[in-house]
Amino acid sequence: MYIKKIYILFFFATLSLSAAAQTPLTQAVDFTVTFTNGEEFNLFDELASGSYVCVDFFFTTCGPCQSNQGYYSEAYMNFGCNQADIFFLSLESTVGDAETIVYEETFGGPNHPPAASGTEGGGIAATSAYSVGAFPTFILIAPDGTILEQDMWPLNGTTDTFTSYFGSHGLNLTPCNTDVDDVEVALDSEITLYPNPTNDQLNVNLVGFEGQVNIFVYNLLGEAVTHLSTAGNSARINVDEFTTGTYIIHVLDSNKSTQRKFSVLH
């Protein structure tokens, strides 16, 4: 478990409140920020549309923020990429757009929530309005403005914690579409996955592959999760220790390559 870095922007009274809850508020305060892509975001407008809103308060040189940013991005992808029940965003609290973009690209992965920088995007003012003094802080706001979760922490290095927090409020997994599509490079090759979704093991049937076949599994951050090889026409992958979410399986021999998506639900 990481110990959050305390960023000294607030009085000691504020810091003592954050020791119990990283925002002492129980009702949302409105704010308007501008994301690094130029899009303007207003909190109350988003809540009025019926969305829950998950806010990540961070700063770019914060070690625990960096270590957990990938898990926040994966939660964003597992819950609809801002097209389902939850709208995810990140608020930086020290620097401008250029540094924030580098941070997101480095630690957030290829698919990450929109972020507003501290100085140019309005993140400093929003962070101050919520009296956040420890980073990272992840909060969840209901459509009626109630702050349901004042600090989703610790994460323990898995997205299951986000899933548990959201699930306790009736929010269900809704994996979003990504840039990774099912692709067959060779028309005479095919793989069948079952059950899909799965919760304990994934069976892989192979058609049209010859010789030694390599099977790779990646998460949506592009990180390798497991690898096995087979000379037969089937394989079995144990997913007991996989976190809940969407994965890509890539199968190839010396001449063919095929990839598919599958989901793990625990």
| CATH number, domain containing residue 96 | 3.40.30.10
pTM (2 decimals)? Answer: 0.67
- pLDDT > 50? residue 8: no
**Is the separation of the CB atoms in 216 and 259 below 8 Å?**
no
Among 154-158, 235-239, 245-249, the range scoring the smallest mean pLDDT is: 154-158
Give the C-alpha distances (Å, rounded to integers) separating 264 from 74, 122, 156. 13, 37, 19
3-state secondary structure of 111: coil
For residue 219, what are the domain limits?
183-264
Are both 54 and 106 inside the same structural domain? yes
Number of domains in the chain: 2
Q: Is residue 57 situated within a structural domain?
A: yes
Are both 253 and 197 inside the same structural domain? yes
35 pLDDT band (50/70/90 cuts)? very high
Give the C-alpha distances (Å, rounded to integers) separating 108 from 218, 239, 259. 16, 24, 24
pLDDT digits (tens, 9 = 90+) for 144-186: 999 999 999 988 655 568 988 999 999 988 877 655 454 444 4
CA distance 137 to 134: 7
Integer Rg of the chain from CA: 21
Are both 94 and 193 inside the same structural domain? no
Are both 87 and 139 inside the same structural domain? yes
Are both 143 and 68 inside the same structural domain? yes
- Residue at a domain's end among 142, 167, 192: 167
Which pLDDT score, from 0 to 100, does residue 6 have? 43
**Is the separation of the CB atoms in 250 and 257 below 8 Å?**
yes
Are both 49 and 78 inside the same structural domain? yes
Mean pLDDT of the chain: 84
Torsion of CA 77, 41, 122, 106, to 10 degrees: 20
5 pLDDT band (50/70/90 cuts)? very low
pLDDT digits (tens, 9 = 90+) for 86-116: 999 999 999 999 999 999 988 887 778 999 9
